[in-house]
A and B are shown apart, each in its own frame.
Chain A
Amino acid sequence: MNATQLALSAILLTALVLQALLPALRVLIVLCAAGLACLSSTLLGVGTTHQIMAEVPWDVLILLVALGLLSDIFAHSRLFGLLALHAARWSGARPAAVLLAFAGAMYLVSGLVNNLTALMLVLPILLNLLKLMGVHQRYLSWTLGVVLVACNLGGAATPIGDFPAILLLGSGRMTFAAYLVHAAPPTLFALLILLGIVTLWIRPQRGIDRDPLSARLSVQVMSKLYRNVRLDKRRFAPAAALLLCLLVLWTIVPSSSGVTADLLCWLGVGAVLLVNTHLGERLLRRHVDMEAVLFLLALFVMVAAVRRTGMFASIARQLGALPVSPSIQLVVFLCLAGIMTGIFSAGPSMAALLEVGHSLAQRLPPHAVYVGLALSVCAGSSLFLTAATSGPMAQALTERAELRGGDGEPLRFGFFEFLPAGLLSFSVIQTVALSYAWWNVR
């Protein structure tokens, strides 16, 4: 490793560690570090700021912003509230069924829209239902934990569900259809295994007596709370039609045509915002997730600077030089991806590791590398409550809900309450990722 590589890698790693240690200052930390990376890169002769900026995957940022806006339109159509209500009704407020219904619903929703928006609207309804049901700490911890993991799995199931998959779609290394075909089945498989283990073996519902009156009362109150809520078809219909069109176009229009996934998304979401004129303008002015955009932009800048030093190619070469078979090399890479994501969160890990992944994909089947990587990042995101953005949000919403157990003791959902679900989920998803990669490489 030469001095240039060392300096720019040190900036990237220091920023990653600091943002993990001080999440409240994470955007400020990575933005300052990105500026420093540009300066160092210029002074060390690696590349000017313009050259680095030209390597930023702007298409990913466009996809992220556009899909976020589309999620907001769905939120304004009241779709998520109704979905949660139907999940509550379908489950009949039976503890095991509530866990299954909400995890299943969030898996499906997270595959199509921004899971943060969906979670923000569904979680308060779930928390209300849990209050009505009178649950205990163990059930609360496992239910919320599994719902969060289902969001991560849903996000990894489709190319538009979450940032790592969007990055793959934007990079053009896998087509929309290819990713969907290869990633959806293993994520669903992982979810089913997880739900099976939790509901049949761990059984968090143990200790909550079967109480038909409590269940009926819970459903009646939920129905009353949402007595007049109807789907706003004016908002829902154009957004749903657009999403359907985009899914078709992403599948049939080749990226070689120049009409790329991000361009289709830009134009399509623009059209939906035009249909919802005033709401569209309001969303654009006030609801674009600038925090995510700035955070990822700063990461991309730092990664681009490190890439120009040849650092990632060097790591990939060292990985390739390991005296083991390529499939074992892939296993090592995926394990590293899972652990790094657990520590640094999905965005930074994926942005850095994808560069190494590209090198591996030249020697191994690309889908084995990329889908394996997306699954490993998903496993890492599920390890700790702090690894995914949705975790701290769920914690804050649960604290605000002031849940109490049967004896009146306050119920919590924090780092340690999530940990058992996180460890189990990490093990299950990482095992599925490794098995998937192994199966496709052998």
Chain B
Amino acid sequence: MSELPRGVEQAFGVAAAELGLCTAAWLFVRELAQAGGPLLVQKLRDSLGRTFPVLDAVAAQWLDGSSIPVIDPQAVVAACAGSKTVLVVGFEADFFDALLAQLAGVQFRLLRYSPFGVVDWERILTNYDERVGLTDLSDFQRWAGTRSVVLTFLYGAGDHSAHASPAWLRLVGEDVRAQFHSFIGWDVLRQPMYVYPRWLVEVPRSDFSVLA
């Protein structure tokens, strides 16, 4: 099989909106690699890489020999030790699921904000138990406290900056910084992107008290 499936761009958009850019990218790359090998993965990269830079980076990783994503939540688990609530900004299904399994007894609140427009957050929530709930930009400060941390997923982190969801900029202000115990960035891509980081924003590395 050497042709990309029809409507692949729209399909990736659906997956990325509800699973996260990195999780969706690995899913698509795996499936296409299984069907058509490196040739089809390269075609996917050529076709959608500029629109979805995380997909481009993941495809490049796969072509360089990494067949599965590195999902190691231990550093984040350590940073969350003693926390009662984790406010999650942005969403990556595979990574969040791994973290959730490691942090028994901790409450999670997903910030209802997506660069992809309308996302059915209630449906995302049906995958989880009562520990996981939703919050909005208007009321997330209800979850603030000395035992509360803010976690976001990063897409490549350099010496001075990292790429995060635009939701991060909406949330983190000087007033908010004083209200949470720590701000954790989890680099889920682990390499820089090759093309313009559409859907993401560049934020200073100093925004984060812990970078995993």
**Chain A interfacial positions (CB closer than 8 Å to B):** 78, 81, 124, 128, 131-135, 208-209, 211-214, 216-218, 220-221, 224-229, 400-406
Contacts and interface: CB of A to CB of B under 8 A. Distances in A.
B123 A124 contact: yes
A211 B2 CA distance: 12
B50 to A, nearest CB: 15
Interface in B29-87: 31-32, 35-36
B99 to A, nearest CB: 14
A404 B14 CA distance: 12
B123 A213 contact: no
B5 interface: yes
B127 A214 contact: no
Given A133-B7, A213-B3, A214-B6, 4 more contacts: A132-B14, A208-B6, A214-B5, A228-B97
Nearest to A405: B7
The B interface, classified by DSSP as helix, strand, loop or mixed, is helix
A214 B7 contact: yes
Contact of B11 (A208, A221, A402): A221
B117 A402 contact: yes
Interface residues of B, number: 30
Contact of A213 (B14, B15, B18, B35): B35
B118 interface: yes
Contacts of A135: 7
Contacts of B144: none
Interface of B: 1, 3, 5-8, 10-11, 13-15, 18-19, 23-24, 27-28, 31-32, 35-36, 93, 97, 117-118, 120, 123, 126-128
Nearest to A121: B123
A250 B115 CA distance: 51
A217 B5 contact: yes
A305 B18 CA distance: 53
Contacts of A405: 7
B15 to A, nearest CB: 5
Contacts of B24: 221
Given A132-B14, A213-B1, A224 B27 contact: yes
B10 A404 contact: yes
A220 B13 CA distance: 15
Chain A CB within 10 A, most for which of B15, B23, B24? B15
A217 B9 CA distance: 12
A217 B11 contact: yes
Given A221-B14, A221-B27, A226 B7 contact: no
6 contacts: A124-B120, A134-B8, A208-B6, A211-B6, A217-B28, A224-B27
A224 B11 contact: no
A217 B117 contact: no
Contacts of B97: 227-228
Contact of B10 (A134, A228, A229): A134
Given A211-B5, A404-B10, A216 B31 contact: yes
A132 B8 CA distance: 7
B5 A78 contact: no
Contacts of B32: 213, 217
Contacts of B23: 224
A404 to B, nearest CB: 5
A214 B36 CA distance: 13
Contacts of B5: 134, 211, 213-214, 217
Given A227-B93, A406-B6, A128 B14 contact: yes
Chain A CB within 10 A, most for which of B10, B18, B93? B10
Contacts of A211: 5-6
A225 B24 CA distance: 10
Lowest 9 A-B CB distances belong to which pairs?
Answer: A134-B7, A214-B5, A228-B127, A134-B6, A132-B11, A213-B5, A221-B15, A131-B14, A213-B35
Contacts of B3: 213
Nearest to B18: A225
Contact of A134 (B11, B27, B31, B35): B11
Contacts of A131: 7, 10-11, 13-14
Nearest to B34: A216
Contacts of B127: 226-229
Contacts of B15: 132, 221, 224-225
Contacts of A225: 15, 18-19, 123
Contacts of B14: 128, 131-132, 221
B118 to A, nearest CB: 6
Contacts of A216: 31, 35
Contacts of B8: 134, 214, 217
A133 B15 CA distance: 12
Contacts of A134: 5-8, 10-11
B128 A217 contact: no
Chain B CB within 10 A, most for which of A212, A221, A400, A403? A221
A224 B1 contact: no
Nearest to B14: A131
A78 B126 contact: yes
Contacts of A132: 7, 10-11, 14-15
Nearest to A128: B14
Contacts of B19: 221, 224-225
Chain A CB within 10 A, most for which of B3, B97, B118, B123? B123
A128 B19 CA distance: 13
A224 B25 CA distance: 13
Contacts of A229: 126-127
Chain A CB within 10 A, most for which of B5, B7, B23, B32? B7
Contacts of A81: 123, 126
